[in-house]
Structure 1
């Protein structure tokens, strides 16, 4: 279930718009399973995911001189944390279409921070937290380590374009082993406000998506991409 965490910050406005760009296969898996896939934190392309900046790591190393398990715990903790990434933006993003969809058969889920909070179902055995990512200089800036979630809420400035809000699940207290990740129960009617179809997709594909939604009995608005608008000159 979603739990508000005192140390994790979110945009003040629950109507802040967030997006998830994904391929049709991943979207179908979401619809059929009614579960949201979360990637294990150390499986992301960014090898720094869940690690510390240089100033913080220097301090942790000093603390670990007489307690090697202290450092080992932080390293292995990444294997028990799963993340679902969402992009803050009032509008759809051309760059996000290119980065996160493999071809012209991609989709974008439009939601809000408030909807994400409501979508997380309480029957899971572990809590989910939602937080906004901070982008810092890992060579100079400090990441606090008095909270186990902080390493997963900081990224290098190179990733600032992502403007990320993330759902974070920590399974360490359950003893559950994560392979590539974890699927959590979600209420799709809360999770998905609108669905956008890739701006370069063919008409047959758009019809297929609409038909699939009907067959699966999902009453979710399907929007034409704003990037597909007709030229006016």
Structure 2
């Protein structure tokens, strides 16, 4: 086995992100806790290989345990929508960047939550036992010489650190939220644009969103999973990918990134608008001249994209 070099080029990071759960050589699907290897072939080509294929590597970057992602990735052509008022749309064009909101700024107080406060005692009990067991059973070659009271004291500290870290995590996690659906959503117009006459909806796809953000492997894009917090908890690594069942109608796909330095309430991430924006739809409440205004603004900022009236304004016959 080669000695790990810990050299991770952007090409290797992208490959690992885009082929997260399978060997790039044989297509083998990884299972939880299985080993895999990332590294480089003879021509410095990045590779992401199962153990059976790892002998092809000339340089081993790292050998890692496979842990499934806490989110599901949409299909490449899955349609994604972002509903916004006109000022936010102009900001998107002028900054040529996508705004990511810090998660402690959302109205939903459960953003990033692990569970219901009334059920916290059960959560604490589980992790206290987990920490006690980890302290008492160190890796091979080490001995635990702590008394039971000292073990318990350290376990309590780890539990406290876990809770403090959860609160701090909200201030360094930034997300951009999208709605997944084949068609416009009347509910989303109401929810995210207040059904304003000067609102627009930008339509893209999963693949275009990913590519428009520079195929940046540090930005995770996936579906939110909706759970019943009366019966379940969100895992330590799952919390920002879980929401309450009452939000299921949102069908949210979010782009998420971590930033440990940014102190602002949000941040703008550079974005290729020509790739991102497939089509723009104007609010069902918009007057006819608003379509012309959106086209004029697009022209001003050098964005060539189709602008369409909402499909919801079509007239029925009886």
Same fold (TM over 0.5): yes
The match for 2:245 among 157, 179, 202 is: 157
The answer to whether the 8 A contact 1:119-1:187 is kept is yes
- Please report the TM-score for the alignment, with normalisation by the length of structure 2: 0.66
Q: Deviation string for 1:124-178 (max 9, x for gaps)?
A: 8x82110110001112113222x3xx11000000100000000001112xxx133
- Give the aligned length: 225
Q: Deviation string for 1:85-116 (max 9, x for gaps)?
A: 00011100111111111311100001111111
The alignment's C-alpha RMSD in Å is 2.2
The match for 2:94 among 24, 27, 32 is: 32
Structure 1's unaligned 5+ residue stretches are none
Match of 2:272 in 1: 187
Distance 1:154 1:57, change over 3 A: farther
Match of 1:69 in 2: 161
The answer to whether the 8 A contact 2:113-2:234 is kept is no
Q: SS where residue 21 of structure 1 aligns? A: strand
> Offset of 1:31 from its aligned partner?
0.3
Q: In structure 2, how many angstroms separate the alpha carbons of the residues matched to 1:89 and 1:194?
A: 14
Match of 2:206 in 1: 113
Match of 1:204 in 2: 289
The match for 1:78 among 170, 180, 193 is: 170
The answer to whether the 8 A contact 1:56-1:143 is kept is no
Distance 1:94 1:194, change over 3 A: same
The answer to whether the 8 A contact 1:56-1:142 is kept is no
Higher relative contact order, structure no. (Cα contacts within 8 Å, ≥ 6 residues apart): 1
Q: In structure 1, how many angstroms separate the alpha carbons of the residues matched to 2:187 and 2:74?
A: 26
Alignment of 1:168 with 2:260, yes or no, is no
Distance 1:57 1:91, change over 3 A: farther
Q: SS where residue 156 of structure 2 aligns? A: coil
Q: In structure 2, how many angstroms separate the alpha carbons of the residues matched to 1:137 and 1:152?
A: 15
Q: SS where residue 163 of structure 2 aligns? A: helix
